[in-house]
Amino acid sequence: MKTFDELFAELSDRATTRPEGSGTVAALDKGVHHLGKKIVEEAGEVWLAAEYESDESLSEEISQLLYWLQVVMISRGLTPADVYRHL
C-alpha cells in the first residue's frame, strides 16, 4: 500500500531514471494525447463501478484514475503542490 505522494515520488523517479520495462515510461513517451484518453477511460470505469460494482472494485478503479492523473501531471511538469493549492 502507498499514499498519493509516495506513488507520485515513485513515478517521478521512473520518469527520471527510465528503467527498462516501466509502463509509466512507455505511457509518458506516448504523449499527453494518450494520457488524456486513459484518464477518460478510467474515469468512465470509476463511474460504472460507482453505479454497479462493489466497494472493492470502485476503490481499484479510483486508484487507477489517480495513477493516470499523476502520469499526466508528470508529463506536464506539475507537482502535487500545484494541485493542492486549489483544494
Ligand X SMILES: N=c1c2ncn([C@@H]3O[C@H](COP(=O)(O)OP(=O)(O)OP(=O)(O)O)[C@@H](O)[C@H]3O)c2ncn1[C@@H]1O[C@H](COP(=O)(O)O)[C@@H](O)[C@H]1O
Residues forming the site for ligand X (CB under 6 A): 10-11, 14, 22-24, 64, 67
Nearest CB to ligand X, comparing residues 22 and 57: 22
Sign of the torsion angle spanned by Cα atoms 44, 80, 67, 24: positive
The alpha-helical segments, DSSP class H, found in 1-87 are 4-17, 23-30, 32-52, 55-76, 80-84
Nearest CB to ligand X, comparing residues 3 and 85: 3
Q: Which amino acid is at 14?
A: R
In angstroms, what is the minimal distance from the CB of 84 to ligand X? 20
In angstroms, what is the minimal distance from the CB of 69 to ligand X? 10
In angstroms, what is the minimal distance from the CB of 14 to ligand X? 5
Burial class (CB in 10 A: 0-12, 13-18, 19+), 26: exposed
Nearest CB to ligand X, comparing residues 51 and 85: 51
